[in-house]
């Protein structure tokens, strides 16, 4: 073989070798690209699944929040209705007490009249005395009957007030109170570890609700409501309280 032939053969071999090497690297790069593409697709699918899960969790959380808000609104409405009925029942109770007092006065007057008629019987005819006595007796019996009826009504109204108070306590057994309640300590019992405050049902205070106690800028501790009336409440001093609570200290939630 001539020198030129050898050179051409050498060049052909080098070119073939270069082509093989290039093809090898190209195939390798293609495989890497394919692997990266597969990984990217997997990451996209994972991201989609994560986003879908997050969306469902957010929807569930929103629904739970809406349900909780509705339940709280319903509880507030029930509490307002109970408070309205309680106030009406107490007004009826006051009216009954006034009516009973009037009935008692009538009964006393009838008894006095009967005694007077009996004392002055000598100055009346038999028929006049008999008629006057019978009238006084009738008035006394009627007054006593009215007195008993009104006493029964008062007892019934007192039970209604107690039932409404109990219903209010059960409606608020978890101690949920609207924010913004503010009052003061009006009495402190250190022996039994409780206080009385000057805010109650009319201000949004409910049984089992907790309030913080402070004086100036100093935090004293917490109290837990045990009994509530329309305008005041009784609360236990919680064990975590560090400060010495005194009359005049402020309370809020």
- Does 146 map to a domain? yes
On whether both 162 and 194 belong to a single domain, the answer is no
Q: Which domain holds residue 164?
A: 87-171
Please report whether residue 31 resides in a domain: no
Task: Tell me how many domains the chain contains.
Answer: 2
One domain, residues 149 and 190: no
Q: Are 188 and 242 part of one and the same domain?
A: yes
Q: Which of 139, 171, 203 is the last residue of a domain?
A: 171
Backbone angles phi, psi at 205, to 5 degrees: -75, 135
CATH of the domain at 186: 2.40.10.410
Check residue 133 and give its pLDDT. 82
Q: Are 238 and 251 a contacting pair, CB within 8 Å?
A: no
Shared domain check, 229 and 158: no
Residue 237: CB atoms within 10 Å? 21
Question: Domain check: are 115 and 167 in the same one?
Answer: yes
pLDDT for the residue 101 = 87
State which residues of the chain have pLDDT below 50. Answer: none
Same domain for 92 and 166, yes or no, is yes
Among 171, 204, 227, residue at a domain's last position: 171
Quote the pLDDT of residue 227: 94
Half-sphere exposure of 234 (CA within 13 A, CB side): 6
Query: What DSSP string describes 64-133?
Result: HHHHHHHHHHHHHHHHHHHHHHHHHHHHHHHHHHHHHHHHHHHHHHHHHHHHHHHHTGGGS-HHHHHHHH
Measuring CA to CA, which residue among 104, 79, 109 is closest to residue 228? Answer: 79
**Tokens representing residue 188 in the block:** 């402190």
Task: Write out pLDDT tens, residues 166-225.
Answer: 656 655 555 678 889 999 999 999 999 999 999 999 999 999 999 999 999 999 999 999
Same domain, 116 and 159: yes
Three-state DSSP state, 222: strand
pTM exceeds 0.85, yes or no: no
Task: Tell which of 141, 171, 201 closes a domain.
Answer: 171
40 domain residue, yes or no: no
Tell me which residue of 186, 198, 209 sits closest to 233, measured CA to CA. Answer: 198
Chain centroid offset of residue 149 CA: 39
């Amino acid at each position: 073989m001539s020198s030129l032939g050898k050179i051409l053969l050498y060049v052909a071999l080098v070119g073939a070798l270069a082509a093989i090497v290039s093809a090898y690297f190209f195939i390798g790069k293609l495989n890497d690209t394919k692997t990266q593409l597969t990984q990217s697709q997997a990451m996209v699918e994972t991201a989609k699944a994560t986003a879908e899960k997050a969306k469902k969790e957010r929807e569930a959380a929103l629904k739970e929040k809406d349900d909780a808000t509705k339940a709280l609104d319903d509880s507030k409405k029930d509490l307002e209705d109970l408070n309205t009925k309680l106030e009406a029942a107490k007004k009826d109770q006051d009216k009954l007490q006034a009516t009973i007092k009037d009935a008692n006065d009538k009964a006393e007057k009838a008894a006095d009249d009967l005694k007077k008629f009996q004392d002055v019987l000598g100055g009346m005819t038999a028929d006049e005395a008999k008629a006057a006595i019978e009238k006084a007796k009738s008035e006394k019996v009627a007054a006593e009957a009215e007195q008993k009826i009104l006493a029964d009504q008062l007892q019934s109204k007192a039970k209604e007030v107690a039932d409404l108070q109990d219903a209010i306590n059960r409606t608020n057994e978890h101690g949920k109170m609207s924010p913004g309640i503010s009052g003061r300590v009006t009495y402190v019992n250190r022996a039994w570890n409780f206080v009385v405050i000057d805010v109650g049902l009319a201000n949004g205070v409910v049984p089992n609700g907790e309030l913080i106690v402070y004086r100036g800028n100093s935090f004293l501790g917490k109290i837990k409501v045990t009994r509530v009336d329309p305008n005041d409440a009784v609360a236990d001093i919680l064990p975590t309280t560090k400060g010495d609570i005194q009359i005049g200290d402020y309370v809020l939630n």
